[in-house]
Amino acid sequence: MLSDREFEDWCRRLCLPETTKELVQKIRNSEPVRKVGGGAKNVCGSYPSRKMGKTIQFESHKVELLTIVEYENDEDVLEYYDQPIRLSLSFHSLSGRCVVTSHTPDFWVMRRNSAGFEEWKASERLKILARKQPTRYQQSEEGRWHAPPAEMKVQAMGLYYYLRTDLEINWIAYQNYQFLQGYFNQENTVKKRGKKNSC
């Protein structure tokens, strides 16, 4: 994690407004705003993060858990936090009615040259949501998913909002990380034994 001086330098490099800097500090110093819960098809839990020095919640062992492992091993990710904040979003329903809802992104992610919120969903689930709420979830011609109400909400703060899917997950890299976990864990190194005194 960043020291106080490193954090100040990072904020300056990203030219973050003072209000955004205060928001980031609040996220860094606060507990998650909600506890995750599993569903019929999902298994939730906590991951012991070496990078963050604490456990990080995940709501899906097939999407969010793999995301956490990616963050752990991505050198571009400086810090990351689960269930970081509640955002108030407004959009129009299929009937044209204005809907205002509270939304908690999965993660707040601090990268070397950017920062923002990342929401992860299964691609098939997103297709269903896009049919029900087409102004909230949209797919570009290139196939990338967007959440315009959330993106507009945070852009004014100098932040990004990414709507990401399970199709972006590198399963081979995840399996390699799991296989090499013991190697990367320095606490598992074997200490050299001292020489025995001969009589």
In the chain, where are the structural domains located? 4-174
Q: For 58, left (φ over 0), alpha (ψ -120 to 50), or beta?
A: beta
Q: Is residue 88 predicted with pLDDT exceeding 60? A: yes
Q: How far apart are CA 44 and CA 129, in angstroms?
A: 22
Q: Can you give the pLDDT at residue 111?
A: 98
For range 133-158, the mean pLDDT: 96
Q: Is residue 24 predicted with pLDDT exceeding 60? A: yes
Q: Can you give the pLDDT at residue 38?
A: 67
Confidence of residue 34 (pLDDT cuts 50, 70, 90): very high
DSSP state at residue 152: H
* CA-to-CA separations, 72 to 20, 110, 119, 150, in angstroms, rounded: 24, 12, 17, 25
Strands 45-49 and 87-92, by their bridges, are unpaired
The dihedral formed by the CA atoms of 144, 115, 60 and 134, expressed in degrees to the nearest 10:
-40
Q: For 108-126, what is each residue's pLDDT tens digit?
A: 999 999 999 999 999 999 9
Strands 160-165 and 115-121, by their bridges, are parallel
Q: Can you give the pLDDT at residue 37?
A: 80
- Both tokens of 82, joined, read 């689960």
Predicted TM-score (pTM) of the model is: 0.86
Confidence of residue 169 (pLDDT cuts 50, 70, 90): confident
- Both tokens of 10, joined, read 């990072």
Residue 87: name the closest of 127, 132, 117 by CA.
117
> Which amino acid belongs to residue 42?
N
Query: Does the domain spanning 4-174 belong to CATH 3.30.460?
Result: no
